Amino acid sequence: MTSPENRTDPSTTPVRRRRAVLIAVIAAVFALLAGGIAIAWAAAGGGGETEAEPTAKADESTTDDASPAPTGARAAEACPEPTVDVASADELQSALDAAKPGDVISLAPGRYEGEFVARVDGAPDDAITLCGTADSILDGGGVEKGYVVHLDNVAHWVLQGFAVQNGQKGVMADGTTDSVIRGLTVSGVGDEAIHLRAASTDNQVIGNTISDTGLRKPKFGEGIYIGTAESNWCDISDCEPDPSDRNLIEGNTISGTTSESVDIKEGTSDGVLRGNTFDGAALVEADSWVDVKGNNWTIEGNTGRNSAADGFQTHEILDGWGTGNVFSENTAELTGAGIAFALEPERDNVVDCTNTVSGPGAELSNVECRD
């Protein structure tokens, strides 16, 4: 090791500096020469290694120019870094009560028995997230009563990744806005699995797996239910239509439902039902996978199989409702005696000719498709 004295010896410092400068100059000259040779070689098309850089640039431009991934693809996202860890039912409800914008409540694997309610708001740029895996199971304790998870007049929430089972209803959103229900496994419930009502607007229900509904009353066993039936408006929306509008229902897999896979009620408008998969093998209280009674919904890119009768239906329950809905690029694999798209009445609903149907004696629609 060089001694401290030598590091400051005035007789050696200038020599070392001159040597260092000379070495740096020589290195710079060699670098310039090498760079020039490499450029000339690349211009001449030589060298296999030069292919890597254009490939990387092409990949980057493709990524920049590509459209965003479908919303449903986000269902598999990992949980964000937690701010609160919970491992029991009491800890979970306490965390929900104390939540503040930006919190991420992480569910440890295990069973959480009870009915869990969220009552505080997140913020537009700081949602409150409740996140877990399929091994984090919220269990309502029985199919005869209660909501396993209740979003009660809140905004900016994310429910992600965990399992919900064994309640009268799985996930209920009342007066909920700008929230996301993503990647849940909802099964074994008494009535419907996921329900948005009481002016729940601008929400996303994406990439969930839903099965085995209607264990209490099969006629209430929908997979996803949007809005409120007119007969219940006085209980839910002051005797007025329930404007649960502009909701996105995308990329969900729905099977084992005793009633419709998706029921869109009168009073709702301007939603999107896209890229979902329906299996109607368990239908006993419905005659279609999808029933649309609202207005101006876009129903596109869905696939249904194992029909009880029809695939998709519209209905006019009240004057002015059940119109302006557009069906495009859906695939109906019929096994029942119905038709793929039954518009009753047609009104201003549209069945695009991009829809397809298969099955014995399969018929596309009771109205003419439009290009």
CATH numbers and ranges of domains, the chain? 4-66 (no CATH), 74-286 (2.160.20.10)
What pLDDT, on the 0 to 100 scale, is given for residue 361? 83
**185-187 and 209-211 strand pairing:** parallel
What pLDDT, on the 0 to 100 scale, is given for residue 41? 37
What pLDDT, on the 0 to 100 scale, is given for residue 23? 42
DSSP state string for 165-213 = ESSSEEEEEES-BS-EEES-EEES-SS-SEEEESS-BS-EEES-EEE--
Which amino acid is it at 340? Answer: A
What pLDDT, on the 0 to 100 scale, is given for residue 76? 58
Burial class of residue 207 (count of CB atoms within 10 Å of its CB; 0-12, 13-18, 19+): buried
Closest CA to 161 of 260, 86, 74, 259: 74
CB distance 309 to 287 below 8 Å: yes
Structure tokens at 255: 């099977």
- pLDDT tens, per residue, the chain with 371 residues: 333 333 333 333 333 344 444 444 444 434 444 444 333 333 333 333 333 333 333 333 333 333 334 444 444 578 999 999 999 999 999 999 999 999 999 999 999 999 999 999 999 999 999 999 999 999 999 999 999 999 999 999 999 999 999 999 999 999 999 999 999 999 999 999 999 999 999 999 999 999 999 999 999 999 999 999 999 999 999 999 999 999 999 999 999 999 999 999 999 999 999 999 999 999 999 999 999 999 999 999 999 999 999 999 999 999 999 999 999 999 999 998 899 999 988 999 999 999 999 998 899 999 999 98
317 phi and psi, to 5 degrees?
A: -75, -40
Neighbouring-strand partners of residue 106: 85, 131
C-alpha Rg value of the chain to the nearest Å = 30
Residue 29 three-state SS:
helix
CB distance 340 to 332 below 8 Å: yes
What pLDDT, on the 0 to 100 scale, is given for residue 336? 81
DSSP secondary-structure letter at 126? Answer: B
The reply to whether the predicted model has a pTM over 0.75 is: yes
Burial class of residue 53 (count of CB atoms within 10 Å of its CB; 0-12, 13-18, 19+): exposed
What pLDDT, on the 0 to 100 scale, is given for residue 14? 38
What is the distance between the alpha carbons of residues 42 and 50, in angstroms, rounded to a whole number?
A: 7
What is the distance between the alpha carbons of residues 231 and 247, in angstroms, rounded to a whole number?
A: 22
Closest CA to 130 of 162, 98, 167: 162
List Cα–Cα distances, 114 to 137, 182, 282, in angstroms.
11, 21, 28
Closest CA to 350 of 363, 364, 368: 368
CB distance 179 to 152 below 8 Å: no
What pLDDT, on the 0 to 100 scale, is given for residue 282? 98
Instruction: List all residues 6 or more positions away from 241 whose beta carbon is below 8 Å from its beta carbon.
Output: 230, 233, 266, 267, 321
Is the bond preceding 54 in cis, omega lying within 30 degrees of 0? no
CB distance 335 to 362 below 8 Å: no
Cα atoms found within 13 Å of the Cα of residue 114, Cβ hemisphere only = 10
Instruction: List all residues 6 or more positions away from 1 whose beta carbon is below 8 Å from its beta carbon.
Output: none
What pLDDT, on the 0 to 100 scale, is given for residue 337? 87
What is the distance between the alpha carbons of residues 94 and 39, in angstroms, rounded to a whole number?
A: 65
